Chains A and B, each alone.
Chain A
């Protein structure tokens, strides 16, 4: 990617979002070095080998000098946090409905991202138009989570202040699964 690529949300990215292709949406953002795309892509990539390749071939400073294990753990923690947060907010369901709900939250977060980036780009906020600060990212994540009754503190202000505990991982860890659609290993709160 050239260093002067615009961080504006493209028509194609809006289309990816509209058809529910979050992997393609975040891959496009990743190619533009949008910092939020690191976790966005790690969450929605269909094959973790693709994430590994992106990190290996990428600029280590962009990846905050962290490797695949770190970003994969962050993505896994995010999914577990979302599941616990949805439960706390009153949503209960089996693995299929929980996955669907998490994808709804993911689509909503991506929508907020598009709006914030567009606003930032248009008004030239910060040093680089279209590039958000960690504070801006936290701002819209917390707002998007509350739309689904997920308490705001389930999104950490740093990458993740709230790392799920072992019990939560054992309950919901399998929700972070690429290309899987079985209930294997999942013990939902409704059970």
Chain B
């Protein structure tokens, strides 16, 4: 009995307190309730048409209602291309480190209408655009956005996290809350560090 008790104590102190369906990855213990079901796919099932290089990183999915409990201004319903209502959520992915080119020609940028702390190119195409943030002497890449209709769009915001990148998706109606969203994500990642 003593060895078993010792083993349990050791696991409790050193290991993750995780259930069978949680995922431990890169020093974090991700609870199952915030994992996309796609996190558990580990192969292409022999289908060689797909890209054979598959990330083992978990895929996070925060339901909009959960995010809204932490960020009251987060909107849980949005409009899609056909003017129909869709649920808004917060999907988060880990990606390999990627350094975007920085934008140096500041004369071509203007404040972004939906979020004045972001900047967008004055000349842009009908389908997609890039957003930048302003640092002391420079404009830094913030993310890529694509229109789902003339009136709406979604963005992939890319951030650095340790030796990898973190990417989340944000709808037009929630872009003004992006700073709160990032605080929310980092708080959860900190909370999930394995103890």
A and B physically associate: yes
- Residues in chain A within 8 A of chain B (CB atoms): 11, 14, 18, 33, 35, 38, 61-64, 101, 104, 107-108, 111, 114-115, 118-119, 122-128, 131-139, 142-143, 146-149, 152-153, 157-159
B55 at the interface (CB under 8 A from A): yes
A146 to B45, CA, bound (A): 24
The 7 closest A-B pairs by CB, nearest first: A35-B49, A138-B38, A126-B53, A126-B51, A139-B38, A147-B86, A131-B51
Q: How many residues on the B side are at the interface (Cβ–Cβ under 8 A)?
A: 48
**In the complex, which of the residues B37, B43, B52, B88 contacts A142, with contact meaning CB atoms closer than 8 Å?**
B37
With A149-B87, A152-B36 known as contacts, the answer to whether A122 contacts B144 (CB < 8 A) is: yes
Pair B40/A139 contact, Cβ less than 8 Å: no
- Residues in chain B within 8 A of chain A (CB atoms): 36-38, 40-55, 59, 61, 63, 80-82, 84, 86-89, 91, 93, 95-96, 98, 125-128, 144, 146-148, 154, 156, 165, 167, 169
Complex contacts, B125 vs chain A, CB 8 Å: 11
**In the complex, which of the residues B52, B89, B127 contacts A146, with contact meaning CB atoms closer than 8 Å?**
B89
Pair B40/A157 contact, Cβ less than 8 Å: yes
- Least distance between B173 CB and chain A CB atoms (Å): 13
Pair B55/A64 contact, Cβ less than 8 Å: no
Complex contacts, B169 vs chain A, CB 8 Å: 115, 143
- Least distance between B37 CB and chain A CB atoms (Å): 5
Complex contacts, A137 vs chain B, CB 8 Å: 50
25 CB < 8 A contacts A-B? A11-B127, A14-B127, A14-B128, A33-B49, A35-B47, A35-B49, A62-B49, A101-B84, A104-B82, A108-B148, A111-B146, A119-B144, A123-B95, A123-B96, A123-B98, A123-B165, A126-B53, A127-B53, A143-B36, A143-B61, A143-B89, A146-B61, A146-B87, A147-B87, A159-B45
A100 to B28, CA, bound (A): 43
Pair A61/B48 contact, Cβ less than 8 Å: yes
Q: In the complex, which of the residues A111, A131, A135, A137 has the most CB atoms of chain B within 10 Å of its own CB atom?
A: A135
